[in-house]
Amino acid sequence: MGWGEYEPVRVALEVLRTSGELNPAAIAPALRPALESGMWRDWRHPVTGVRHFDDFDAFIEHETRHTVDVILAALRPDVRAADVITAIETARREGIATANEHDQNRVSNTHPQRRKDAAAVIARLKRDDPELAAEVIAGRITPHAAAKQAGIRRPRATFVTDDIDLAYAALLRHYTAEEIARACRGD
């Protein structure tokens, strides 16, 4: 596949990256050629050169600055985009399968740690909770959300530390004022 075949798709993805609103009428034509040809795996860019992606999610995040879930949410109301939605879900499953078989010695510009973590979570879910693993593979739930649901990962919260009022407000979203006071007293 030559550089010229990538250019219209690259331009369409650039529009998705820079536009404030995701328009299903623009998303489907932008992604359809990349999905049908598989060009997203060895993505050619005139400035950065060829970048290899094993993971469709990483490709979408890199090229559009949106997550695949956000793209899918924008596409779902448009019945004409059903083929693109199916192709995205297939590409995601293939990306997970590739992550499970990924050669650790291979250099990749995508997120190897995230891919490794997702593969490890899916492997554990296949062993401990096959139904939840199937949900992840089908793309209905993220590996992280499934890990929390299965008790593999504990829920986490992040808050600012330079403003005690904001930190306290963040803690109140997770604990009662009495629980916070008890923890502060060391009870």
- Global pTM reads 0.48
Backbone angles phi, psi at 76, to 5 degrees: -55, -40
Return d(Cα 140, Cα 93) in angstroms, integer. Answer: 11
Helix (H, G, I), strand (E, B) or coil at 172: helix
The closest of 25, 40, 145, 139 to 78, measured between CA atoms, is 25
Cα 38 from Cα 56, distance rounded (Å): 10
pLDDT range class, residue 2, cuts 50, 70, 90: low
Q: What is the DSSP string of 72-103?
A: HHHHTT-GGGHHHHHHHHHHHHHHHHHHHH--
Phi then psi dihedrals of residue 147, to 5 deg? -65, -40
Computed from CA positions of residues 71, 74, 89, 83, in that sequence, does the dihedral angle turn out positive or negative?
A: negative
Let me know: does 43 contact 53? Beta carbons within 8 Å: yes
pLDDT tier, 7 (very low <50, low <70, confident <90, very high otherwise): confident
Residue 103: pLDDT band with limits 50, 70, 90:
very low
What are the angstrom distances between the C-alpha of 116 and each of 55, 57, 60? 11, 14, 18
What pLDDT is stored for residue 110 in this prediction? 47
Please write the tens of the pLDDT for every residue from 14-46.
Answer: 877 777 677 777 888 888 888 888 888 888 877
- Tens digits of residue pLDDT in 105-133: 344 444 445 555 777 888 888 888 989 98
